[in-house]
Amino acid sequence: MIIRSKAPLRIGLAGGGSDVSPYSDLHGGAILNATISMYAYATIEPLEGDKIIFHAIDKDEIIELDSKENLELDGNLDLIKGIYNRVVKDFSKKALSFKLSTYVDAPPGSGMGTSSTLVTAVLGAFAEWLNLPMGEYDLAHLAYEIERIDLDMAGGKQDQYAATFGGFNFMEFYKDDKVIVNPLRIKSNVIDELSNNIILYNTDTSRVSADIIAKQQKNVRDKNANSIEAMHKIKNQAILMKEALLKGELNKIGEILNYGYQYKKQMAKGISTPLMEEIYTEAINAGASGGKISGAGGGGFMFFYCPANTRYNVINALKKFQGKVHRYEFTKNGLKTWTNR
């Protein structure tokens, strides 16, 4: 028997960062994101005996452990161990024996929500295997708790919900970890035009998102007026983006992205870098009307809105850098799990 799952990565179109505590607890957050055809995958193969094997295929890492109820977090695939520990604690109540293989289509530090999407995929595979009684909100919230509370990894709340629900969603975040996911009914021709006009670009750089997020959180705790005002503007950007997409006002997308780009840089130091500024300027000069740093910033992916027929000029202009344009499609579905007997 083989149990499989896959969960889509996402791009945050607007509002990114307003889902991070303590800002979301104090002021409420809002994000508009959309899942794309890049995934995190998990496969569980039950084993006889008392062994656990973790194989992170994309990282070329494999470890074999004795099966027990709680695995030590020693810096070696702790993300996967943390999921297992929580599943045993909350559900199975006993040690399990299996091989878990994982793969993610984008590298860590890409700004695409890779770690949270991987947690969602792995948790989904366990839920399929053990027939765990969890709905979409339950699974997304548990994935959030494992990453942010159990493993104390800094970050927001959007990624786990995007990976679980899939599609275009306007998400609202409140205190006490309350999240409301509002699926958007966007016309198919609007989605097709977005897919054509939005260029997804890997800058071929990486960053530790936790460092930037920690600065953002400190700015809120220290009541840094400029940073908090920038977060207010970013939250408003999500509302503007929602209205433009639902009304099919594609001519406003680039302007809204550029609006957010300018304010996002004021949320914390390190969100943009000299290289990213150069890339952004080059894309704008080539015809893009706006763009965005994906995720917390500091490296990883960027994307640009290229109206009319400017995408080809922008792609050519970006060839001077070391990065790569990625093909993708927007997806309607979130986490999928299945069993092959």
In a domain, 68, yes or no: yes
The amino acid at residue 261 is: Y
Instruction: Indicate if 226 and 306 belong to the same structural domain.
Output: yes
DSSP class of residue 330? B
Out of 105, 152, 159, 177, which one is annotated catalytic? 159
CA atoms within 13 A on the CB side of 105: 18
Instruction: Indicate if 286 and 230 belong to the same structural domain.
Output: yes
Q: Is 222 a catalytic residue?
A: no
Helix (H) or strand (E) holding 276: helix 274-285
Instruction: Indicate if 174 and 200 belong to the same structural domain.
Output: no
Dihedral sign for Cα 81, 83, 88, 94, please: negative
- The pTM of this model reads 0.94
Instruction: Indicate if 237 and 259 belong to the same structural domain.
Output: yes
Q: Is the pLDDT of residue 16 over 80?
A: yes
Residue 111 token pair:
């700004």
Instruction: Indicate if 195 and 175 belong to the same structural domain.
Output: no
Instruction: Indicate if 103 and 172 belong to the same structural domain.
Output: yes
- Residue 207 has what pLDDT? 60
* Mean of all residue pLDDT scores within the chain: 93
The number of folded domains in the chain is 2
> How long a stretch of residues is the chain?
341
CATH number of the domain bearing residue 38: 3.30.230.10
Distance CA 279, CA 272 (A): 11
Task: Give the 3-state DSSP-derived string for 213-263, with helices as H, strands as E and coil as C.
Answer: HHHHHHHHHCCCHHHHHHHHHHHHHHHHHHHHHHHCCHHHHHHHHHHHHHH
How many other C-beta atoms can be found within 10 angstroms of the C-beta atom of residue 42? 27
Last residue of a domain, one of 144, 168, 185: 185
- Domain, as residue range, for 151: 2-185
Distance CA 148, CA 69 (A): 21
Q: Is the pLDDT of residue 116 over 90?
A: yes
Q: What angle do CA 205, 207, 211 make, to 5 degrees?
A: 160
In a domain, 108, yes or no: yes
Q: Which residue has the higher pLDDT, 177 or 97?
A: 97
In a domain, 332, yes or no: no
Instruction: Indicate if 177 and 261 belong to the same structural domain.
Output: no
Asked whether 44 and 32 are in contact (CB, 8 A), the reply is: no
Instruction: Indicate if 13 and 159 belong to the same structural domain.
Output: yes
Instruction: Indicate if 10 and 128 belong to the same structural domain.
Output: yes
Mean pLDDT of 280-308: 90
Q: Quick one: which of 116, 169, 106 has its CA closest to 141?
A: 116
Instruction: Indicate if 132 and 231 belong to the same structural domain.
Output: no
In a domain, 333, yes or no: no
- Tell me the range of 56-65, 150-159, 218-227 where mean pLDDT is highest: 56-65
Question: What are the pLDDT digits (tens) for 32-79?
Answer: 999 999 999 999 999 998 999 999 999 999 999 999 999 999 999 999
Instruction: Indicate if 14 and 142 belong to the same structural domain.
Output: yes
Helix (H) or strand (E) holding 202: strand 198-202
Residue 90 token pair:
């909350």
Q: Quick one: which of 22, 30, 31, 13 has its CA closest to 227?
A: 22
Last residue of a domain, one of 152, 185, 218: 185
In a domain, 177, yes or no: yes
CATH number of the domain bearing residue 301: 3.30.70.890
In a domain, 335, yes or no: no
Last residue of a domain, one of 143, 164, 185: 185
Q: Give the SS3 label for residue 183.
A: strand
In a domain, 33, yes or no: yes
Q: Give the SS3 label for residue 269.
A: coil
Asked whether 175 and 299 are in contact (CB, 8 A), the reply is: no
289: CB partners within 8 A, 6+ apart: 253, 254, 255, 257, 258, 305, 306, 307
Helix axes 209-221, 225-247, angle to 10 degrees: 110
Instruction: Indicate if 178 and 203 belong to the same structural domain.
Output: no
Query: What percent of the chain stands above pLDDT 70?
Result: 98
In a domain, 341, yes or no: no
Q: Is the pLDDT of residue 302 over 80?
A: yes
